[in-house]
Structure 1
Amino acid sequence: MKRRILTLLLVSIHLMAWSQGVPFLRNYSANEYHAHKQNFDIICGVDGTIYVANFEGLLYYDHASWRIIHTPGVTRVTTLFMDSKGTIWTGGYNYIGRLRNDSDGRLVLDDYDKAHSFHGEVHKIWERDKVLYFLASNGSVYQIADHHIKPVSDKTTTTDTDADDTQTLDNQYKAIASNGNGVIIQDNNGNTVQTITEKNGLCSDNVVSIVYNGHGQLWGATDNGIFAIAIPSVYSHFTQNEGLRGEVLSISQLDNTLYVGTLSGLYRRQGHTFVNVADISHACWQLVSTNGRLLAATTDGVYSIEGQQSRQLTTASTTSLLVTPDGFYSGELDGFYLNTYSGQRQRLCDAEKVVKIVKDKSGTIWLQNLYGSIWRGDGKTFAPFTTGQKEAIATLVQYEGRVITVTADATKPFPYPLFSYTDSDGITWLTDNKGKILYAMDRGKRQEMFSELVYPLMDHSVRAMMRDGGQLWIGGEKGLNVVDCSRKDPIATTKACLYIRSVSIDGDSIVWGGYGEYPQQLRELSSDNQHLVVKFSVDYPSLLLPTQYRYRINNGRWTEWSLDTEVSFHKLPYGSYLLEVQSRNAYGVLSDVASINFSIMPPVYKRWYMIVLYLILIVIAVYLLVKLRLRQLEHEKRRLESIVQERTAEVVKQKDEIEEKSNRLENALQELSEAQHELVRQEKMATVGKLTQGLIDRILNPLNYINNFAKLSEGLVKDLTANVEDEQEHMDADNYEDTIDVLGMLKTNLEKVGEHGANTTRTLKAMEEMLKDRSGGIVQMDLTALVKQDEQMVAKYYQRQIADYHIKVAFNYSEQPVFINANAEQLSKTFMSLLNNSIYAITKKVQRQQFSPEVTFTMRALDGQVEIVIRDNGIGIEETIIDKIFDPFFTTKTTGEASGVGLYLSKEIVQNYGGDIHVESKKDQYTEFTIILPTIK
């Protein structure tokens, strides 16, 4: 393995050192740094702090928070400079000064021109022979010395005012700030190797100043914000800004050209951008390069790409490929196929949605579908492969020259990976079960060099991967990432320094500003301070994977790692504290612990002299209380004797009152429980209704298209069959018969599609009906009048069945009005639904045997209630399912006959009116539904 790695590194020396993609960058808007969007200059301090000359003043960013310092006249700052001693100098309109820290570590501006010796705007500050100079807008040059400035007549002290527009990145490259063209990267020969502009996500193309922090980050100031670019870096990427749209699913090469398949189609790399391959705009699941051609498995079929030409080989949605000498295997939605380039196809097995096809050294072909099921075969026949665990989800991994299956609960040789890839050197790349945290395995153990190299990409999902020499191409939902294995990332070689950036009280009172000599002990804090905030950060954090932090108090347990750069303490008790903070960089390397001591004074009421005063007051109070209590006891004794008699009488009276209130409370609790149960039921139904209604609307529209096009296609098949029959004499007999057979199968399939589509539509309509609000429209109504109306409707609607099967239909009810609170339309539908079920049950029984069919509808008034009984002597209901008939979508009829929501809706309607419904039945004897509803006097 060491020899292989050494060979890789030697070969990589001759590769182009520049990253293949666009560097990672981060923009900071005016809303983030809370100042004007116009910036003029930018520099980096020795501790990693970024200083920016802004229209509103001097901005500085310590990687924990943005802060601003205003000039004495609240004017804009236009130029910055750091001298050989590390002092930051600032210049602006009628202002020149330096940055220093006060006794509390806060940064302040020290004005060097209080005498107003010059007028205008400072354009440039520089140092020569340890003497500072600056150029003003009036063209004069001034020297800074001993808190004074004086004009300089010697023009030889001037310097190139555009020097800070160019920054050397390393020994090979430099960055140039341009007005209108963003950031330009050039090599030592002046050749432009890359340009980073707004098209790549830069906040503005008008870059006025840049600075390299010496640790892999280029910072820039623009007229529309501030940016940081991770450059030079071993990591780069391509996103939709570079033309690569959609989640990356596959990566391959053809004739030294990179091809990438995404959810939005197939793309070809051209320089630092990607272009869409013509005619392929569907999801491209897999790419395979073979014999000068590229095969692409897409949802629109398999395409062959040769040079600039593409040709569609199949039309069925394909999710995986395996090349053979004469063709290719394809995993499709309805099975696994063997295809030839001439268009012949053979279905080998019914493994649906195969997403991975792997061939081992023995020639065995392994299949894995979308649901984690495994098949294997010899290329002609395939059978399911079990791992010994019932219904265990598994995946295929090429590991150490063989194919292994890894189940979802496996721990050896490694946990279940959602994605795996084996490169040409036999190194296996794996993720966790969520498709993230990529790592490498080689010869049975973790390959640390490569695993550490991809560690900063741990938050990126991995769907595709390709290793090409010293380059790793990793694709996922965030685009295409490129890792240059031949280089060392600056962040990996930098030992992070962790700083306590500020300590503040109640949000605005600064205890320690974070700059200057680090205090071992902060000043003692008052107990009145309610909110203590400590901010911290490292000097050079990574842009790719944010630095994580943890802390502990007084040598306690460390907190969990988080991205927070501050910790807040609310109402800490008095005492001494030691706060320790530690960071972890993008490679998991821990920093040294940064600590700070502070103490909180006890409150005034807990100080020693107050405690002595408390003791004296307590002694005096006890003495007075004892004397007072003795006097009160005598008086209390006499008073209690009279109270006992009064209380005895009151207790008896209160006992009776308590019993009465207890009974009332018990009744109220019962009513409240019933109301609560009903409220919970209605809330659940409302929530489920909203979710399901959205799904119904999403499903019905495409389903209508399916039904309509299926019906239209039946007519087209019929016309095509007629055309083929007309051309029979011009066709070969075998071709004619095959064509007729295929058209017949197609017609049958279309009829099935139409039939099932109609059934599905009916079910969805039933769901829609089930979810309607039936709580409205409840009024006082006469139930007797409604029953008369339904009696007429039954005689009319079921006239043919009653006559054909000699069904006796009897309605028994009193002519006296019965008033209830209900919705007449809904209640009528309930009665008609139950009567329809009775007619159906009798019809089914008549078709099997001779008997006297009878349906009765009986209504009788009870005390405060009305009872409706609907009975038939049809086929009845089996005991095993009678408890389920009120469940939604449960039915004993076929899908074409009923949707299974009638009884569910009937029960819901009855319960909405305060009633109930139940059923009794015996198989092949009778069925009886009883409805109880409350009446109105």
Structure 2
Amino acid sequence: MIKSYFIIGFFTLFSVALFGQVKDIGLPAIKNYKRTDYKGGTQNWNIDQDTNGNLYFANNSGLIKFDGSTWHKYSLPNSTAIRSLKIDDSGKIFVGGNNEFGFFKSNEKGELKYFSLSNLISKKDSKNINLIWRIHIYKGEVIFQSFTKVFFYKNEKLRFIDAPKKFQFSFLINKRLYFQDKSLGILEYKNGKLIAVPGSAFFNDKEIWAVFPLSTNKLILATLEKGLFISDGKSIKSWETEANSFIKKNTSLGGSIIKNKFIVLNTVLNGIIICDLNGKIIQHLNRQKGLQNNTVLTSFVDNKNNVWLGLDNGITFINENSPFTYFDYSYNIGTVYASVVHNNNLYVATNQGLFYHPWSKSFKDEPFYRIEGTIAQAWNIQVINNTLLCASNNGALVIEQNRVAKILDSKGYFGFKAIPKRPGYIIGESYNGFSVFKSAPDGINYVNQVAGFDQTTNTFEIELDENYLWLKKDNYLYQMTLSEDLKSFEFIKKHTGISSQRKGIGSLQSINNKVYFQTKNHFYRYSKEQEGFFEDKKISALFTKTPTLKALIEDAYGNLWYAYNESLGVLEKNLDGTYHQKEAPFSNLTGNLVNNYISINAIDPNNIFIGLTDGLTHYDSKISNSFITKPRAFIESFSFPEDTIITGNLTTDKEEFELPYSSNHVKFTFSSPTFENQENVMYSYKLEPFEENWRNWSTVSIKEYTNLREGNYTMKIKAKNSYGVESNVSEINFTISPPWYRHFLAYLTYFILILAAIYYTTNRIKVKIRTNKYYETIEQRRLYLEKESKIRHEQHELEKEIEKLKNDKLQIKILAKDKELVNNSLQVVKKNKVLNGIIQKIKDIDTHNLDDSTKSEFNKLHKSIVKEVNTDKSWKDLEKHIKNVHFDFLKRLKEKYPTISPRELDLSTYLLMNMSTKEIAEIMNISTGGVELARYRLRKKLGLNKKENLIGFLMSI
């Protein structure tokens, strides 16, 4: 009933949010740009936007352009300040300054060039142009309005009308053009004439800065110091509203209108207000609430219904076209851990204590108020049994009438849960375990500490079902059973996993009043009968297309909010029980959520509060997702060594750029006129055919390529906004010409030269062939004669060789005979040796005992043997033969050792023949001692030491 009361009671209060994007709860996201960002002057007087979405600012230092990535500045010839600007459909940027006006237009290279129109006026008239404050495009004419004149430009011709006395400002409202004159009031421009509006002299002492259409026949006029007035064409009266009271106090500098539903009013002293068409202030933004300056010179509503402010010092972007608004430090709150609405107050648990704000009062200017006694960490704020309980570092607190009514327990607490099947009983998780509380007629009271478990920390999750208390701490899941008297845990079991297929425990949550255990997006329940976990495939199927969950919360409407990678998503429950997924709207909260303390407070679909590290955000789920639009991506500039093409300024797409080979070092800059969460806009690109795949998404908006080969290239770029929506692909085609030596004409020249070379070479070859044939005939004749002479010479040499071979053969035969004779001589020597032995034995025979005949025969035998021995000349023949056989050896030995004697030559020969000492002694007719002495003398003459072998040395010669 209480929940229904708030849904019905406050739905009407905040129903304005259903009809437009401007919300009266919290502050929109605000982005300030300082002059150091845009490199210009302090004051910004006017703002406009081109068809590509780029923003232009009339600045003290000139024209400032912002494409979403970079700022550009363009100055007037006299470097004067620009006070007004207007962009037409062709892309011309008309500007006005002090005694100067004209337009900027891009040339063929995309450079914005200024064309002065003031030079079309005579010198006499050009001296009194004064400041151009307003520019309008009306019925094909561009109208420049100063205090003294109004100029009309069309078809390159310029005309002007002088002010009756002095113009203030001009306004184009409902396709009707009005001027304010100090003496004639408001003048309407019709058919080339200025016609006074009846009754408008009322404003002669008032300076009108803006006019807003209230309906087809009603106008709201904002004056500098007199406030707001409403006119129906017949009467003029003060617009007695909340907005008017504010403007009278703070002085108006005009404003702008959002969707014909909300009016933005600029002030000198106190920022801006946004009011509805009934004059009720919806938002008030000033320096305290995020603006960098309280003096707002101009405001502009861009093509996404977001608001830009030109300040007295800087530029501010306000993201009005969003379902999110924020409560930050300006509302006195820090990091938010929980929130709840109770007794018509919004309570917020923060790191600085518990705060509250009346739910039925406006959130525009009032901050949150601290509950006294809670200047400490507040972990949770809950309504249990219609009692507001705060779990904080100061203990378990009961909050009543915005104060601490009772301290249930002084220990620090993290939160509370109602115990199933035990009406009135509550269990609280404290810094050192669990405690039990009980509701009584006098309120909730502390009962006892639950014994048996004291491991809780601030990183845990707890749920209760009918049988168990479940606690997830770190990587473990504890299953516990409370005793009947709630004083202790009867049963404690520690689980390290809930599935054999999937390790780990992701989160612990309650869905449809049932406890679920999640791991890797698979949801399990516990079966007491089977004493195990089983998967609920129906719930798991809901999260098959979501990232891996870290936490999940079910709100009062059955929506399932899940946290992943420091981001947030939701499965919104439909009336038929199905769900539809939302992630993109919450992408801007990424990184700002409180880890392990995801706080979702869904009061109703229009009022959902989410805790952040730097405050609280309000989300209206009923606001259309039209704020999530498809971004546009542009190749802002295309640079190469010789030039730069600012493609973002080109009004027509050039089909292809041609670059010389010397300019094969190219650079591209990208832009996307996406100003919501601009720092999260990312780009991806590829250069075909140089790259096959798209580069990874990056916030870098510049890319260079060096040393490209000649050929045709296409640079492609796409952008992705902070909601993850990708743009269409933008591209630029360009051709790099080959170097002169690889140009088509060069190849044609090469071909002609090759043909000429072939022709020349062919003729030279033919001449050479004829010449070669002539010389070849002569050479063949010469070669024939030389060959014939050579054959004759070879024949002569062959004959000599044959003769030599015959001589060598003969010599070989002689040597063979000598060798044979040496062998025979040696045999004879051996024979004579034997015969001498026989002779010696015969001498030893006693012949006295022999008869005469025998003695005579014996003497004859003796004589014949002696004769045979004495007549044998084998020794001399042996020496001759030995010298013939070893002639070369003896010759070399004699040449090498000239002092060697013939006798030593003979000894050397015998040693070479490997004769024994005894054989040598017999041949040389000396004793064996004489042979050894001769060997010693020979070694000495040959210069051999004791270790050197004499025979081996002789063989080496």
TM tier, shorter chain? 0.5 to 0.7
CA contact (8 A) 1:531 1:569 kept: yes
The CA deviation string for residues 30-70 of structure 1, in whole angstroms up to 9 with x for no partner, is: 12111222222212223211110111110011213110111
Partner residue in 1 for 2:412: 317
3-state SS of 1:244 partner: coil
CA contact (8 A) 1:169 1:231 kept: no
CA contact (8 A) 2:263 2:277 kept: yes
2-side partners of 1:373 and 1:175: how far apart?
Answer: 55
2-side partners of 1:580 and 1:499: how far apart?
Answer: 10
Q: Report 1:774-793 matches (<5 A).
A: none
Amino acid at match of 1:440: L
2-side partners of 1:575 and 1:95: how far apart?
Answer: 47
Q: Report 1:754-769 matches (<5 A).
A: none
3-state SS of 1:420 partner: strand
1-side partners of 2:54 and 2:179: how far apart?
Answer: 28
RMSD (Å), alpha carbons:
3.6
3-state SS of 1:454 partner: helix
2:434 to 320, 323, 336: 336
1:535 to 669, 675, 699: 669
Quickly say closer, same or farther: Cα 1:515–1:319, change in 2 above 3 A: same
2:275 to 166, 186, 201: 186
Amino acid at match of 1:132: V
Q: Report 1:60-209 matches (<5 A).
A: 60-83=65-88, 87-114=92-119, 115=121, 117=126, 118-137=128-147, 139-145=148-154, 146-153=156-163, 158-159=179-180, 161-163=209-211, 165-209=254-298
2-side partners of 1:274 and 1:297: how far apart?
Answer: 19
2:340 pairs with 1:252:
yes
The CA deviation string for residues 519-558 of structure 1, in whole angstroms up to 9 with x for no partner, is: 3433212333364222333444433783332222227212
Q: Report 1:387-406 matches (<5 A).
A: 387-388=497-498, 392-406=504-518
1-side partners of 2:722 and 2:81: how far apart?
Answer: 36
Q: Report 1:632-711 matches (<5 A).
A: none
3-state SS of 2:415 partner: strand
2:332 pairs with 1:238:
no
Unaligned runs of 5+ in 1: 1-6, 624-937
Partner residue in 2 for 1:720: none
2-side partners of 1:593 and 1:12: how far apart?
Answer: 44
Name the TM-score, length of structure 1 as normaliser: 0.60
Partner residue in 2 for 1:376: 480
Quickly say closer, same or farther: Cα 1:292–1:518, change in 2 above 3 A: same
2:653 pairs with 1:505:
no
2:2 pairs with 1:24:
no
3-state SS of 1:514 partner: helix
1-side partners of 2:473 and 2:352: how far apart?
Answer: 22
2-side partners of 1:578 and 1:332: how far apart?
Answer: 64
The CA deviation string for residues 371-393 of structure 1, in whole angstroms up to 9 with x for no partner, is: 65433334732523423479944
1:568 to 701, 704, 727: 704
Quickly say closer, same or farther: Cα 1:373–1:37, change in 2 above 3 A: farther
Amino acid at match of 1:148: L
Quickly say closer, same or farther: Cα 1:240–1:330, change in 2 above 3 A: same
Quickly say closer, same or farther: Cα 1:446–1:99, change in 2 above 3 A: farther
Partner residue in 2 for 1:45: 50
3-state SS of 2:95 partner: strand
CA contact (8 A) 1:12 1:486 kept: no
2:550 pairs with 1:418:
yes
The CA deviation string for residues 125-184 of structure 1, in whole angstroms up to 9 with x for no partner, is: 2344444333335x4434335353534356796255434832222343221121121121
Offset at 1:234? 0.9
CA contact (8 A) 2:685 2:694 kept: yes
Partner residue in 2 for 1:34: 39
CA contact (8 A) 2:572 2:582 kept: no
Offset at 1:235? 1.3
Quickly say closer, same or farther: Cα 1:26–1:545, change in 2 above 3 A: same
Amino acid at match of 2:152: Q
3-state SS of 2:37 partner: helix
Quickly say closer, same or farther: Cα 1:134–1:544, change in 2 above 3 A: closer
1:481 to 612, 617, 622: 617
Partner residue in 2 for 1:679: none
3-state SS of 2:330 partner: helix
Offset at 1:208? 0.5
Quickly say closer, same or farther: Cα 1:612–1:448, change in 2 above 3 A: same
1:352 to 455, 459, 464: 455
The CA deviation string for residues 622-664 of structure 1, in whole angstroms up to 9 with x for no partner, is: x9xxxxxxxxxxxxxxxxxxxxxxxxxxxxxxxxxxxxxxxxx
Offset at 1:269? 2.6
CA contact (8 A) 1:98 1:110 kept: yes
2-side partners of 1:401 and 1:291: how far apart?
Answer: 17
Offset at 1:213? 0.9
The CA deviation string for residues 396-424 of structure 1, in whole angstroms up to 9 with x for no partner, is: 12234421122469685656533321111
CA contact (8 A) 1:374 1:394 kept: no
Quickly say closer, same or farther: Cα 1:445–1:430, change in 2 above 3 A: farther
Offset at 1:448? 3.1
Partner residue in 1 for 2:351: 263
CA contact (8 A) 1:216 1:233 kept: no
2:716 to 580, 593, 607: 580
3-state SS of 1:162 partner: strand
1-side partners of 2:724 and 2:519: how far apart?
Answer: 29
Offset at 1:589? 3.1
Amino acid at match of 2:378: C
Quickly say closer, same or farther: Cα 1:158–1:442, change in 2 above 3 A: closer
CA contact (8 A) 1:500 1:534 kept: yes
The more displaced of 398-407 and 281-290 is 398-407
CA contact (8 A) 2:470 2:477 kept: no
2-side partners of 1:371 and 1:204: how far apart?
Answer: 50
3-state SS of 2:46 partner: strand
2:658 pairs with 1:524:
yes
2-side partners of 1:81 and 1:74: how far apart?
Answer: 19
2:471 pairs with 1:367:
yes
- How many residues align structurally? 610
Name the TM-score, length of structure 2 as normaliser: 0.58
The CA deviation string for residues 320-357 of structure 1, in whole angstroms up to 9 with x for no partner, is: 22245545322222212223433442224314225556
The CA deviation string for residues 830-886 of structure 1, in whole angstroms up to 9 with x for no partner, is: xxxxxxxxxxxxxxxxxxxxxxxxxxxxxxxxxxxxxxxxxxxxxxxxxxxxxxxxx
Higher Rg = 2
Unaligned runs of 5+ in 2: 1-6, 168-176, 181-207, 212-252, 439-443, 524-539, 762-957
Amino acid at match of 1:21: G
CA contact (8 A) 1:216 1:490 kept: no
2-side partners of 1:585 and 1:448: how far apart?
Answer: 22
CA contact (8 A) 1:332 1:352 kept: no
Amino acid at match of 1:565: S
Offset at 1:593? 1.8
3-state SS of 1:31 partner: helix
Partner residue in 2 for 1:295: 389
CA contact (8 A) 1:77 1:91 kept: yes
2-side partners of 1:601 and 1:500: how far apart?
Answer: 22
Offset at 1:451? 3.7
1:454 to 576, 583, 586: 586
Partner residue in 2 for 1:817: none
2:376 to 262, 282, 288: 282
CA contact (8 A) 1:581 1:594 kept: yes
Offset at 1:496? 3.5
Quickly say closer, same or farther: Cα 1:571–1:398, change in 2 above 3 A: farther
